A and B are shown apart, each in its own frame.
Chain A
Amino acid sequence: MLLVALVSPVDSLGHLLLSFHMLQHWLLMMVAVPLLLLGSAGMVVLRGLPSRLRRGALGPFLASPLCRRMLRTVVHPIFGWTALLVVTAAWHVPALYQAALQRDWIHRLEHASFILAAVLFWYPLVAPWPSRRVWPSAAFIAYVLAADLQNTVFAAILTFSERVLYPVYEPTAAVLGWSPLRDQQLAGAIMWTGTQLIMLPVAVLFVRRALLGDPQEALSPRPRAPLRPRTNDLLRAPFIGAVLRSRRARGVLRWTALSVALAVMVDGWVGPQDAPSNLAGTIPWTHWRGIAVLALLVLGNVFCMTCPLVAARNLLRRFWTPRLRWPRVLAGKWIAVVLVVVWLVVYEAFDLWATPAGTAWVMLGFFVAALVVDGLFKGAAFCKSICPIGQFQMVQSTLSPFGVSVRDASVCRGCETQECIRGAQPRGGLVPLRVAVPGCELELFQPAKRGNLDCTFCLDCVDACPHGNVALQPIRVRDSLASPAWGSSIGRTDGRLDLALLMLVLVFGAFTNAAAMTGPWLELADSLSARWGMATPMLMEGALAFTGVCVLPLGAALAAALASARLGGGGWLGNFNLGAHALVPIGAMMWCVHWTFHLATSAQTVIPASQRAMLDLGIGWFGQPEWAQSCCVPTPAWLLPLELLLLQGGLLCSGWIAWRQRIDRNERHPIRASLPWWILATALWACGTWIVMQPMQMRGTAL
C-alpha cells in the first residue's frame, strides 16, 4: 500500500490534481497504517535488532518510568484522536497545503505527520501485540464514530465549497481538461466515502465485540518455551565460520594476497609509470585502502589475517628457525610511531600515489624488513612493534564490532596448560589438531586480553585452545579504549605513552592525509614554496604533512591534557594517554570518509589497468583497456551525507569514550576532565567537515 501511495502514478498525479493527492493521503492514513499495525511491525523490528543494540541503546529508554509514562500517554486513545484532528485540520489550511506542494521538504513533513497521526490514531484500536486495549470495546465505537464525524466536516467543506480552496491546482487541472472545482469535489468525496468505507466496518466490529466479548481480553499469557542458548560466534556461522576456522583456507587467502602483491610490485616496476594505468597506482591506493577500512569497521582486522607478509614469513620459517628474542628496549610502539610519521610524510612529499615504481619499492621494503626481523627474532616482532600498516589496522580495529575473545571465562580459570599462549602439539580429542601451532605470537593471553589492540586476527589461539573456548564474537569499543582494566600485553590505557603517541599520529594523520588532497592545501603549499624560492613544492608538502602529523597533535593534545589535569585532577601524562585513546573514533571515521570517497569515485579504475597488464603478458581474454574508466565517476549523491554522518558518529563516539573513561575510573569530575577532549574532538570534526566540502584532487585517476 505504501508503494501504491508513494511510488505509483497516484503520487505523480497528486502534484497535478487535488483528488489524487487526497487518494494518496487516504491510502497512507486509512489503509497502509492500520495494515502495518495489524502486522505488529514495531515488535518485529524491535525483536530483529541485535540484542546489544536493543538492550544497550534502547533498554535504558524502555525501562525508564518517564519514557513509559510518555509512551502510555501518546498511545492513549484521547491523544491519538486529538492528533488526528489537529494534523488533518492543520494541513487543510490552504496556505500550509499549498506550501507543501511547492516545497519538497514541507511535502515530506506533511506525509510524515499524516503517517504519525494515523499511527497514533490506529494504535489504540489495533493494539498490536503485546499491548492491550485500554478502553472497553463499547468506548471504541464512540472513538471511531467521533473520528468519522470530524472527517465528515472537512470532507463536506471540500465537497460543498463554491470556490476553489487550493488555487495551486487551478492551472494544472485546467490543462488536463478538469474543472478545478470538480476536482475539489471529487477529493472531498474520496475523503468522505473512502474514510467511511474503513471506519464504519471498524465501528461494526467493535459493536460485535461489545456484545459478544473481545477475543483479546480472553487471551491468557502462553507459557514461554525455554530459551535456547544463542551464540554470536562468527566461527560457528555457516560457511564463513568454516572458512575462518580452517588453517588451510586462511593460508590460501594469504597466498592469494601475496600473489596480488607480487603482481602489483612487478607492474609497478615494469609497467607504465602513469598511476591510473598501472596496478601499483590503483590497487594499493584506491582499492586495498578503501576495502580494508570498510572491513575494519564492519567485521574486524581481516586484512592482517590475510597479510601477504605473514605468508612470506611462514615460508621462510619452514627453512629457517629464528633464535633471538626481540630486545625489551625496542618493545612497545616507539619504532612504529617514527615509521608511521615517516610513512605519512613521505607519501605526501613524494606523491607515492602517483609513482607506481615508488609504490613497488616501498612494498619491497616491507617484505625485506618483515623477513629480516622475523627471520632473526622469534614471535611476531615485526607485526607488534614495527609494521606501520599493522599499527594502523590494529588501532582502527578498536572500533570493530568483532574481536577474538574467550567464550566462557570459567573454562580459562580451570585451564592449566594455556595452549593459547604457549602453543599446542597435534592432538585428538574433542577439538582435534593435526599440526603443531604456535601460541599467540603477539603475546596476548586470551583470558586477560582486552579489546582488539595488538590482535592480528591470525586465529592461532583458536586452533590451539583444546577446549574450543576462543571465539570471534561481538566486543565493546569501551573495552579497547576506555576500560581501566589491565590488558594482556597492552597494560593500562592510561599508562602507555608510546601507544598514545601512535594513536595521536594516526588520528591527526587522517585529517592531514585528507586535507592534503584539497585545493586550499595545495595552493598553500605552492604559495609557500614560491615565497621561499623552492624549485618544487615537494619539500613544502613534506613540511606541511610533518606539521599536521607530528607537531599539531603534540601541541593540541598536550594543551588538552594540561587543561584536563587542571579541571578534573590527575597527572597530565595519564590525561594525555587517556585523551589519545578517546580521539581514535573521530580519526577512524576520517580515514573511512577519505578512503571510501576514493573507492566510491574510482573503483572502476582497476579494470583498464588490469586489462593493460594482461595484454602486456600477452593475455587478450579480458579485451582492450577501456581507458574511459580510468576517469573517476561523478560523486554519488549519497556520498556527502554518508561522509557527514560518519564524521558525526566519530565525534559522538569520541565524546562518549572521553566521558566513559572518567566514569569507569570513578573520577570526581568526569565532565570537567573530559571537556578539553570534547573541544579537541569537535575541532577535528569541524576540520573534517570542512575538508569534505572542498574540491578534491582525484588521485589515482586520469583526471
Chain B
Amino acid sequence: MGMWNMDRDAADADAGDCAVNLPRFMVLMFVCAAAPSAVVWADGGAIVDRGEWGGGRFVLWVNPAPPTVGATEWTLLYSAEAASSSQRMVLRLDGEGGAWQEGTFTPVDAGSAMHTCVTSLPFAGEWTVTLQIDGSAWQPHTVALRVQPAAEPWHAALPWMLLWIPAGVLLVLRESLAMRQSRA
C-alpha cells in the first residue's frame, strides 16, 4: 500500500496514465502466462530502433544481437491504440543489389501490444529496415541495420566442446586425492 502511495504521490501528473495502463498490464501478464513460448521472442536481443510512429510509441528488437545471416527474430512493442487487429504490420528488409525480405508481425496474443515475426537474412552487409502498416496513411518508418556474417556452427558449440577440460581437472584431482588417502 505504501509502495503504491509513494508512486502516486511522486507522479501526480501521470496518475491517470497508471490507471489507464493497469488493465493493459494485466492483459500483458495474462498473455505472458498463457503463451510462454511466444514470449520468448521478447527475451534478449538488441534494440534496433525506438520512438514515436503513427499514433504511439514503439520499440523494435532484433535477435540474435548483433544480427547475423540466417533466421532473425523481430519483436515490436507498439502502443498505438489506432493499430487495429485487422491491419497488417509489415517489416521489410532491403539489402544491397535489390535484395529484399518481408515479414508480417503477429501479436503474441489477441490484444497484446507485443508483436513478433521471423525473417531470414540471406547475406551480410548494410540493410534498411522499414516498418509499415498496410492501408495506413502513416509514413513508413525506416532505420539502417548492419548484418554480420553467420557464425560458424562450431562457435556456438564451443562451450560444449571444452567441458572435458574442467572435467579432466576434477578427475585428476579426484584420483590424486584418492591415492593420497589410500596411502594414509
Query: Which A residues fall within an 8 A CB radius of B?
Result: 7-9, 12-13, 15-16, 57, 59-61, 63-64, 67, 102-104, 107, 168, 171-172, 174-179, 182, 185-186, 189-190, 193, 640-641, 644-645, 648, 651-652, 655-656, 659, 663, 685, 689, 693
Find out whether the CB atom of B174 lies under 8 angstroms from the CB atom of A175: no
Interface residue from A7, A178, A185, A656 paired with B21 (Cβ < 8 Å): A178
Q: Count A-B pairs with CB separation below 8 Å.
A: 122
A-B complex: 7 closest residue pairs judged by Cβ atoms: A9-B32, A648-B164, A177-B21, A60-B177, A171-B50, A12-B32, A60-B178
Partner of B42, one of A15, A176, A193: A15
Residue positions of B touching A, CB distance < 8 A: 2-3, 6-7, 10-11, 14, 17-18, 20-21, 24-25, 28-30, 32-33, 36, 39, 42-47, 50, 56-59, 65, 77-79, 113, 153-154, 157, 160-161, 163-164, 167-168, 171, 173-175, 177-179, 181
With A640-B160, A644-B157, A644-B161 already in contact, the answer to whether A185 and B7 are too (CB < 8 A) is yes
Chain B: minimal CB distance from A460 (Å): 37
Whole-angstrom CA separation of A651 from B167 in the bound complex: 11
Cα–Cα distance between A663 and B30 once the two chains are bound (Å): 62
Distance of A654 Cα from B24 Cα, bound (Å): 59
- Evaluate contact between B167 and A182: CB separation under 8 angstroms: no
A693 and B155 alpha carbons, distance in the complex (Å): 11
Main secondary structure of the interface of A (DSSP, over half): helix
Which of A16, A64, A651 contacts B164 (CB under 8 A)? Answer: A651
Are A652 and B171 in contact, with the CB atoms below 8 A?
Answer: yes
- A60-B177, A651-B164 given; 12 more Cβ-contact pairs under 8 Å: A9-B29, A64-B177, A104-B43, A176-B77, A176-B79, A178-B17, A179-B14, A182-B10, A186-B7, A189-B3, A193-B3, A648-B161
Q: Give Cα distance in the complex from A377 to B154, angstroms.
A: 53
Contacts of B78 in A (CB 8 A): 175
Query: Inside 8 A of B154's CB, which chain A residues have their CB?
Result: 693
CA A182 to CA B79, docked complex, whole Å: 19
Question: Could you show 22 A-B contacts with beta carbons less than 8 Å apart?
Answer: A8-B33, A13-B28, A60-B177, A63-B181, A172-B77, A175-B57, A175-B58, A175-B77, A176-B28, A176-B79, A177-B17, A178-B18, A179-B14, A182-B10, A186-B7, A189-B2, A189-B6, A644-B161, A645-B160, A645-B163, A659-B175, A689-B161
**Chain A residues whose C-beta falls within 8 Å of the C-beta of B43 in the assembled complex:** 12, 15, 104
**Residues of B with C-beta under 8 A to A190:** 3
Find out whether the CB atom of B79 lies under 8 angstroms from the CB atom of A175: yes
* Chain A neighbourhood of B10, CB < 8 A: 182, 185
Whether the pair A652, B28 counts as a contact (CB closer than 8 A) is no
Residues of the A chain whose Cβ atoms lie less than 8 Å from the Cβ of B157: 640-641, 644, 693
Contact indicator B177/A61 (Cβ below 8 Å): yes
B33 CB contacts on chain A under 8 angstroms: 8-9
Report B-chain residues with C-beta under 8 Å of the C-beta of A655: 168
Residue on A nearest B79 in the bound complex, by CB: A175
CB distance from B96 to the nearest CB of A (A): 27
In angstroms, Cα B33 to Cα A8, docked, is: 6
Find out whether the CB atom of A12 lies under 8 angstroms from the CB atom of B21.
Answer: no
CB distance from B113 to the nearest CB of A (A): 7
Task: Give CA–CA (A465, B178) in the complex, Å.
Answer: 36
Residues of B within 8 A of A177 (CB): 17-18, 20-21, 24, 79
Q: How far is the CB of B93 from chain A (nearest CB, A)?
A: 21
Chain A nearest CB: distance from B79 CB in Å? 5
Q: Which residues of B contact A63 (CB under 8 A)?
A: 177, 181
**Minimum distance in angstroms from B150 CB to a CB of chain A:** 14
Please determine whether B36 and A7 come into contact, CB atoms closer than 8 angstroms.
yes
The complex places the Cα of A373 from the Cα of B7 at a distance, in Å, of 89
How many Å from the CB of B174 to the closest CB on chain A?
A: 5
Chain B min CB distance to A434 (Å): 47
Q: Which chain A residue lies CB-closest to B31?
A: A9
Residue from the set B21, B58, B78, B174 with the largest chain A CB neighbour count within 10 Å:
B174
Q: How far is the CA of A175 from the CA of B42 in the complex (A)?
A: 14
Instruction: Specify which chain A residues have a CB less than 8 angstroms from the CB of B36 in the assembled complex.
Output: 7, 12
> B6 near A185 (CB under 8 angstroms)?
yes
| Chain B residues with CB under 8 A of A644 | 157, 160-161, 163
Cβ-neighbour of B174 out of A60, A168, A640, A645 (below 8 A)? A60
The reply to whether B24 and A176 form a contact with Cβ atoms under 8 Å apart is: yes
> Which residues from chain B contact A64 at a C-beta distance below 8 Å?
177, 181
Are A174 and B57 within 8 A (Cβ)? yes
- Which chain A residues lie closer than 8 Å to B14 at the CB level? 179, 182
Contacts of A178 on B, CB cut-off 8 Å? 17-18, 21
Q: Which residue of B lies closest to A107 (CB)?
A: B44
Give the distance in Å from the alpha carbon of A186 to the alpha carbon of B39 in the complex.
24
A642–B30 Cα distance when bound, in Å, is 35
Q: Which of A13, A59, A179 contacts B11 (CB under 8 A)? A: A179
Q: Which residue in chain A gives the minimum CB-CB distance to B22?
A: A177
Cα–Cα, bound, A597→B119 (Å): 29
- Chain B residue nearest to A692 (CB atoms) is B157
Contact present for B3 and A182 (CB under 8 Å): no
A466 smallest CB distance to B (angstroms): 37
Bound Cα distance from A386 to B42, whole angstroms: 60
Complex contacts, B28 vs chain A, CB 8 Å: 9, 13, 176
Which chain A residues lie closer than 8 Å to B177 at the CB level? 60-61, 63-64, 67
Judge whether A171 and B168 touch: CB under 8 Å.
no
Rounded to whole angstroms, the CA-CA distance of A640 and B156 in the bound complex is 10
A182 touching B57, Cβ below 8 Å? no
A392 to B6, CA, bound (A): 73
Q: Are A648 and B79 in contact (CB under 8 A)?
A: no
Q: How far is the CA of A214 from the CA of B106 in the complex (A)?
A: 59
Please give, as numbers and ranges, the residues of chain A lying within 8 Å of B42 by CB-CB distance: 12, 15-16
Residues from chain B with Cβ under 8 Å of A9 in the complex? 28-30, 32-33
Q: Is A13 in contact with B32, judged by CB distance below 8 angstroms?
A: yes
CA distance in complex: A655, B177 (Å): 18
Contacting residue for B47 out of A171, A174, A189, CB 8 A:
A171
For the complex, give the distance between the alpha carbons of A186 and B29 in Å. 18
Interface centre among A12, A59, A685 (most CB of B within 10 A): A12
Instruction: Determine the distance from Cα of A97 to Cα of B57 in the docked complex, in whole angstroms.
Output: 25
Measured CB to CB, the nearest residue on chain B to A651 is B164
**A13 contacts across to B, CB distance below 8 A:** 28-29, 32
**A656 and B171: CB pair below 8 A?**
yes
Identify which of A63, A104, A168, A644 gathers the most chain B CB atoms within 10 Å of its CB.
A644
- Cα distance, A104 to B25, chains bound together (Å): 24
Q: Are B6 and A648 in contact (CB under 8 A)?
A: no
Known: A102-B65, A640-B157, A648-B164. A60 touches B50 (CB 8 A): no
Q: Tell me how far the C-beta of B139 lies from the nearest C-beta in chain A, rounded to whole angstroms.
A: 20
Give chain B residues whose Cβ lies under 8 Å from the Cβ of A641.
157, 160
Complexed CA–CA distance, A63 and B46 (Å): 48
Whether the Cβ atoms of A193 and B2 lie closer than 8 Å is yes
How far apart are the CA atoms of A466 and B16 in the complex, in Å?
A: 87
Residues of B within 8 A of A104 (CB): 43-44
Chain B CB within 10 Å — which of A9, A16, A64, A185 has the most? A9
CA distance A13 to B28 in the complex (A): 9
Chain A residues near B167: list those with CB within 8 A.
648, 652
CB distance from B13 to the nearest CB of A (A): 9
Please, which residues of chain B bring their CB within 8 A of the CB of A179?
11, 14
Which chain B residue lies CB-closest to A59?
B178
How far apart are A390's CB and chain B's nearest CB, in angstroms? 31
Q: For B65, list chain A residues within 8 Å (CB).
A: 102-103
A70 CB to nearest chain B CB (Å) = 12
